[in-house]
Amino acid sequence: MPLRNVYDPDNIFAKILSGEMPCVKIYEDDETLAFMDIFPQSKGHLLVLPKAPSHNLLDAKPETLAKLMPTVQRLAQAVETALKPDGIQISQFNGSVAGQTVFHLHVHIIPRYEGEDLDRHAAMPADIETLRPLAERIAKAIS
Ligand code: 5GP
């Protein structure tokens, strides 16, 4: 997969954005959506997406990024309040060689806990029923 490619409107996050595929939603506004990562690398791992289509950071419009980052900050603050992690890792991958597996721009918010290593990236599916209460706790903490 090239670093920049034609946006595929059938990618899994486009389908989640259109409602064609489900997600455990935490937050939504006119420009952004946040939901639980289905293969979490730690307790509370979530994703924030712009609704505007772009392959990754490299082809995103500056105005898309300007709408995305405040939501990333609000969700990171909500994770801090709700889950009280010892750290919060924010990551974003561009190109499959860099670890990108879904080609609609998204930012990972990954709570980090003292003494706990991350689980492998996009590897172990979570039980949806364990994600719902976490999503509710994070959503309640959004200010
Ligand atoms: P990337 O590797 O592209 O940065 O991250 C894609 C992320 O999306 C991975 O962490 C993976 O676990 C997650 N993911 C892949 N498919 C789905 C899905 O259908 N639903 C949700 N909620 N997350 C997904």
Confidence of residue 1 (pLDDT cuts 50, 70, 90): low
Q: At a CB cut-off of 8 Å and minimum separation 6, what does 5 contact?
A: 55, 103
Using one digit for the tens of pLDDT, what is the confidence trace for 77-123? 999 999 999 999 999 999 999 999 999 999 999 999 999 999 988 88
Which residues form ligand 1's pocket by a CB distance below 6 Å?
12, 23, 35-39, 47, 93, 99-102, 122
> Please, what are the domains in the chain?
12-140 (3.30.428.10)
Ligand 1 atom at shortest distance from the alpha carbon of 23: 22
Length, in residues, of the chain: 143
- Alpha helices per DSSP H over 51-116: 62-83
- Residue 132: how many CB atoms within 10 A of its CB? 13
Radius of gyration of the chain (CA): 14
Does position 42 have pLDDT exceeding 80, yes or no? Answer: yes
For residues 74 and 67, is the Cβ–Cβ distance under 8 A?
no
Active-site residue numbers? 106
Instruction: Give 90 Cα–ligand 1 centroid separation in angstroms.
Output: 14
Q: Are strands 32-36 and 25-28 parallel, antiparallel or unpaired?
A: antiparallel
CA of 125 to the centre of ligand 1 (A): 10
